[in-house]
């Protein structure tokens, strides 16, 4: 219990510290000014989301191989947390785009691909609600999770290629292109902070799923008597 509170507190403190650094430590960007500072939040959320989905992919593989419930619990936790982070990316992007470009949305390569990524994992979560039997649900969602994840690089690649055919405004110049040294420190600190938050949320969700499974067993026991 103490470990959980500690992790939660660490996550909150780090995220606040990263926000502070984004505004007061990082240098101001030349062309976009103060608006660019959203980048530290937006991109670090994107990376944490992708990390969550990647861990989920590994646990999906492990479930199909080993069939241990804990991999299923970890899988759904990673997917939900990944969706949460990706939602924040999809919301902070347009909020940035409106003052920068005058429009809420632009079908730029990264944002479009992120939208599809989001839809894929929403589909994963919906699939889980439509299968009642726990073992079947675990196996089939793990398999869909695997298919979804291997599709992600193809989606990003194809859409980026499509965008080179039909150029459009790019929302962020590119996180690793032209990151001034002063920015780099803040950026990686923000990435670190978001990953701690991700770790905290995944472990909380995992505990919930584990509890759900225990309750199900208890329920069956109660019905048997």
Partner 1 sequence: MGLLSNAAALLSKEVRTEFRSRELLSTTIVFVLIVVVLFSFTFDPTTSESHRFGPGLLWLAFLFAASLMLQTCFLREQVNDTLSALRLAVSDPFAIFLAKIGANTLFLLLTELLMLPVFAALFNVSFRGQLPGILLAFFLGSLGISVAGTALAAISAQARMRELLLPLLLLPLLAPILVASTEVTVSLMAPEPFMQWKGIGFLVVFDVVFLTALWLFGEYLLEE
Partner 2 sequence: MKNLDSIFWAYILGWAIFFGFFVSIAKRSNDLRAEVDRLKRSLGNSQEK
**Contacts with partner 1, residue ranges (CB under 8 A):** 64, 116, 119-120, 123, 126-127, 130-132, 136, 139-140, 143-144, 146-148, 150-151, 154-155, 157-159, 161-162, 165
- Orientation of helix 69-101 relative to helix 181-224, angle to 10°: 140
Contacts of 120 (CB under 8 A, 6+ apart): 148, 151, 152
Among partner 1, partner 2, none, residue 53 binds (CB under 5-8 Å by kind): none
176 binds partner 2 (CB under 8 A): no
Taking CB under 8 A as the criterion, which residues in 17-56 touch partner 2?
19, 33-35, 37-38, 41-42, 45
The total of other beta-carbon atoms located within 10 Å of residue 40's CB is 25
Q: How far is the CB of 48 from partner 2 (least distance, A)?
A: 10
Among partner 1, partner 2, none, residue 116 binds (CB under 5-8 Å by kind): partner 1
214 binds partner 2 (CB under 8 A): yes
Q: How far is the CB of 96 from partner 2 (least distance, A)?
A: 7
| Cα-based angle 86, 90, 91 (whole degrees, multiple of 5) | 115
Tell me the DSSP string of 12-45: HHHHHHHHHHHHHTSPPBTTTBGGGGHHHHHHHH
Q: How far is the CB of 75 from partner 1 (least distance, A)?
A: 15
Asked whether the beta carbons of 23 and 222 are under 8 A apart, the reply is: no
Residue 59 has phi, psi (to 5 degrees) of -70, -30
Q: How far is the CB of 223 from partner 1 (least distance, A)?
A: 23
Measured CA to CA, the distance from residue 50 to residue 81 in angstroms comes to 10
Q: Which residues bind partner 2 (CB under 8 A)?
A: 15, 19, 33-35, 37-38, 41-42, 45, 80-81, 84, 87-88, 91-92, 95-96, 98-99, 197, 201, 204-205, 207-208, 211-212, 214-215, 218-219, 221-222, 225
């Amino acid at each position: 219990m103490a470990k959980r509170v500690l992790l939660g507190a660490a996550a909150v403190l780090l995220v606040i510290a990263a926000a502070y650094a984004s505004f007061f430590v990082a240098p101001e960007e030349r062309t976009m000014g103060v608006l660019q500072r959203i980048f530290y939040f937006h991109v670090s959320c994107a990376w944490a989301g992708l990390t969550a989905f990647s861990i989920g992919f590994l646990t999906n593989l492990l479930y199909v191989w080993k069939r241990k419930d804990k991999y299923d619990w970890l899988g759904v936790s990673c997917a939900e947390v990944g969706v949460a982070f990706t939602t924040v990316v999809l919301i902070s992007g347009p909020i940035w785009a409106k003052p920068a470009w005058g429009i809420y949305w632009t079908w730029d390569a990264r944002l479009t691909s992120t939208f599809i990524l989001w839809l894929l994992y929403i589909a994963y979560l919906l699939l889980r609600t439509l299968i009642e039997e726990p073992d079947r649900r675990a196996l089939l969602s793990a398999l869909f999770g695997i298919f979804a994840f291997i599709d992600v690089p193809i989606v990003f690649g194809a859409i980026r290629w499509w965008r080179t055919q039909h150029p459009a405004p790019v929302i962020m110049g590119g996180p690793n292109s032209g990151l001034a040294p002063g920015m780099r420190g803040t950026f990686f600190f923000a990435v670190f902070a978001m990953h701690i938050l991700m770790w905290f949320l995944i472990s909380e969700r995992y505990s919930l799923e584990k509890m759900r499974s225990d309750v199900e067993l208890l329920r069956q026991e109660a019905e048997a008597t």
